[in-house]
Structure 1
């Protein structure tokens, strides 16, 4: 029984429960055993809810597509009433959720049992998961490197075999980047497709969307079916989809697809050979399937997209640090958060409303351009990341960068630094490793990372695919076809090399 969590996906485990080959309690106990076995090496799970999972496992009848299946949640927007929700920050260490999020309510109806929360970078701001509050999460394929972020804890847990699936969210690549680095499937749904309430009607101006990280395409499709709901007051209404995403995996494609691809960074920065090769291998497979493939970049200004994305960071972090005053009974201080978070907040407070609105207009402009692009091309394929995963600690602030942050805060020169090009510098330094994923968040399109390549060093590499808004079914269908390819990384069989 020890291999069940690794051997089966979520729907597979649900089938075992339905056939009475294993009980929900046995599955929870097994998952707990695997967490306790592997978590010390990778630090993926930072809060445990074992007792509640065991209690609910005994409640009968369990119903839903995933009845009796254990899963992990992300410490971001996936609140369970009474449990801590820290967003990876010691600033929220004492915070307790007042009620279940809609995300949790929907998955509870599906029969899932929640084992705990996974690690995230502070406020989910980084593409690595190394918060000072909880320490770094390590990649099960190689514990010297990052699993990515911000859903790095979830990705590492699933790749290590702690749970068959785990909650995730994606505001700039935070599902797709960890999927790429951990050999998993990661779908970012269309903006507005999955719930954000009841405490909010949007996250990150609609850029952030919640879903899961999974080993199989079918688990992702079935979870999406269970997350879709009527949500009062939601800020964004996605194109309607009639039917079930799980059923769409078997739907035949009516005609060969028209596919555009690019291996060039939209920032004009380096793209490592292994990341390029993963794309070229994948488009060759698609071409062999009979689809029409052409090398062509998206018709957007990549640098403008990146600047507007960073501008959103400024505004959101600045607002977050202002909003905690009611919780703390005082203003937030630099020592409450990590230096980079504080810098983003300072820059947010120095950003005008007019600048912020102008940046949002770039989102809308790009959305129109991509809609027109997808009238001709069904899919747009790129690397998920431009570089292989960084080593743990590699992206820590240098002493000179820490000095700059102190100076910005002390002397109040944030506006001056923006004028002399600080935004462009931040864009280059923070996004050069992951320049491909932000576009879909800003346009609201669905995008996925498929695990199609392993490097000579034994690390997974992901390939990103984007489709027009509302076309998750097309992405899932293509992913299901690629899943049959010998190039697809099946984590259960190939397995990361994590030491217990």
Structure 2
């Protein structure tokens, strides 16, 4: 039976355009901002009852903004903000029922303000799992967010709502954040481009992360050029001292690269056969473009996974301990999921392990530096599995079962968060039977976003990305 989908693509003014194209149509006065925003709201109303990807809308405020003069490379382009970043006039609920009664905030966080300063129009806040702790956007107290390519499957997490809305055609670009794969995993699940920038490249993320630099913000898009434009404009609006400029990447790569391909026990043990097949096809594509591909085994993955788990316990404990004081006084601990409570409860038992874990996570950047002294790019599947069915990563599962399943799915993405290197997921694989995207992840040395974007443009030209029918 053909999978059920949720596509908002029609022949309205948005058509199948990306953000760059929509902004150009507005500048050339072929369409108005008001028409674009009206079409996006209509699309949201059409498919979000199926997707469940918008937690709070601000459609009236978007219509009002559309009547004002807008400036920037994305002037008039609709987008949504992940619901862990403040936007004035809306509550920030972090995906948890414990903050259901939180009040609208009065200030917009600099990350969200930067998107507005690019000329974008915010339609609302997108869904995320509780505090971003799982790789599927599901909730124990309300319906899950669904993948528009196949509604029985997850759009990933934790930026799952943003990914679902971009893939479905509601908006061409949406905000996300990534602390262990939370931009790249949804990009892989939903057939999108998802770049996690170098640690410190963008403005600091909102939150209370104890180990600065694990989490970084970014966007999910359907085209490489939208991601490239976002990075160029973010750099222009908020230049970061000491960083090599990216500039506006317009042209694809025109030289051969030394590419390391993940191999060995981790791939053999953790990667689904269909994902392996699509990964092999990606390696052939790279070789056909003149790149030199060499299999490389990643070292000491067991210790790394244990260290990252201990750090995740610290994040859960921090969320439980500080949300009432730092987010909203209405925070109700009794409504936090059992998974997050249990994860936070592990803190006393793993406290003595944290200094060593943090030290090893920091040192992982030194090991990655040695890898990138020999190779320009590291490539592997974004996820070890195809996008799972809704319920496979449900937060009601026993903690150890859920953690084990997430570790198998997200076996590659956390390394870039620990090392701080940039990494991008591209929709180069596809499962025809399930009608689901399979992303491939490319990482490079610190501050090498330009190289990744040039390679991404080359791959997009060689194998154009699918759009939902």
The answer to whether TM tops 0.5 is: yes
Report the alpha carbon displacement of residue 200 of structure 1 after superposing the two structures with TM. 5.7
Report the alpha carbon displacement of residue 250 of structure 1 after superposing the two structures with TM. 1.3
What are the superposed Cα offsets for residues 321-367 of structure 1, whole Å, 9 maximum, x if unpaired?
1113436769964x321110111111124432x42221111112211
1:202-351 alignment runs, 5 A limit: 205-228=212-235, 240-244=243-247, 246=248, 248-250=249-251, 252-253=253-254, 255-264=255-264, 266=266, 269-298=269-298, 300-326=299-325, 333=333, 335-351=334-350
What are the superposed Cα offsets for residues 228-250 of structure 1, whole Å, 9 maximum, x if unpaired?
37879xxxx78612351x3x341
- What's the secondary structure of 2:148's corresponding residue? coil
Unaligned runs of 5+ in 2: 1-9
Say if 1:362 and 1:5 are closer, same or farther in 2 by CA, change over 3 A: farther
- Partner in structure 1 of residue 377 of structure 2: 379
Say if 1:328 and 1:55 are closer, same or farther in 2 by CA, change over 3 A: closer
Report the alpha carbon displacement of residue 69 of structure 1 after superposing the two structures with TM. 0.8
- Partner in structure 1 of residue 416 of structure 2: 440
Say if 1:3 and 1:308 are closer, same or farther in 2 by CA, change over 3 A: farther
- What's the secondary structure of 2:374's corresponding residue? coil
- Partner in structure 1 of residue 201 of structure 2: 193
Contact 2:199 2:213 (C-alpha < 8 Å) held by counterparts: yes
Contact 2:19 2:173 (C-alpha < 8 Å) held by counterparts: yes
User: CA–CA distance in 2 between the matches of 1:329 and 1:30?
Assistant: 37
- Alignment pair present for 1:24 and 2:15: no
- Alignment pair present for 1:38 and 2:14: no
CA RMSD in angstroms comes to 2.4
User: CA–CA distance in 1 between the matches of 2:217 and 2:67?
Assistant: 28
1:395-434 alignment runs, 5 A limit: 395-396=393-394, 401=398, 428-434=404-410
- What's the secondary structure of 2:350's corresponding residue? coil
Contact 1:181 1:462 (C-alpha < 8 Å) held by counterparts: yes
Say if 1:47 and 1:451 are closer, same or farther in 2 by CA, change over 3 A: same
Contact 1:307 1:427 (C-alpha < 8 Å) held by counterparts: no
Contact 2:56 2:125 (C-alpha < 8 Å) held by counterparts: yes
What are the superposed Cα offsets for residues 437-489 of structure 1, whole Å, 9 maximum, x if unpaired?
01000100100111012113121111111100110111100000000123x42
Contact 2:428 2:438 (C-alpha < 8 Å) held by counterparts: yes
User: CA–CA distance in 1 between the matches of 2:72 and 2:364?
Assistant: 39
User: CA–CA distance in 1 between the matches of 2:168 and 2:447?
Assistant: 32
User: CA–CA distance in 2 between the matches of 1:155 and 1:308?
Assistant: 28
User: CA–CA distance in 2 between the matches of 1:31 and 1:203?
Assistant: 38
Say if 1:203 and 1:106 are closer, same or farther in 2 by CA, change over 3 A: farther
Report the alpha carbon displacement of residue 429 of structure 1 after superposing the two structures with TM. 3.5
Contact 2:139 2:395 (C-alpha < 8 Å) held by counterparts: no
Report the alpha carbon displacement of residue 305 of structure 1 after superposing the two structures with TM. 1.5
What are the superposed Cα offsets for residues 276-311 of structure 1, whole Å, 9 maximum, x if unpaired?
12221112111111111111123x311111111111
- What's the secondary structure of 2:462's corresponding residue? coil
User: CA–CA distance in 2 between the matches of 1:357 and 1:267?
Assistant: 29
User: CA–CA distance in 2 between the matches of 1:243 and 1:460?
Assistant: 28
Contact 2:23 2:76 (C-alpha < 8 Å) held by counterparts: yes
User: CA–CA distance in 1 between the matches of 2:263 and 2:276?
Assistant: 6
- What's the secondary structure of 1:449's corresponding residue? strand
1:75-224 alignment runs, 5 A limit: 75-76=83-84, 78-93=85-100, 94-196=102-204, 205-224=212-231
What are the superposed Cα offsets for residues 401-438 of structure 1, whole Å, 9 maximum, x if unpaired?
3xxx7xxxxxxxxxxxxxxxx7xx77534311220101
What are the superposed Cα offsets for residues 6-57 of structure 1, whole Å, 9 maximum, x if unpaired?
4100010000000000111110000000000000111111110111111111
Report the alpha carbon displacement of residue 99 of structure 1 after superposing the two structures with TM. 1.3
Contact 1:239 1:470 (C-alpha < 8 Å) held by counterparts: no
Say if 1:195 and 1:133 are closer, same or farther in 2 by CA, change over 3 A: farther
- Partner in structure 2 of residue 460 of structure 1: 437
Q: 1:476 aligns with which of 446, 453, 465?
A: 453
- Partner in structure 1 of residue 61 of structure 2: 52
Q: What is the number of residues matched between the two proteins?
A: 457
Say if 1:164 and 1:328 are closer, same or farther in 2 by CA, change over 3 A: closer
- Partner in structure 1 of residue 20 of structure 2: 11
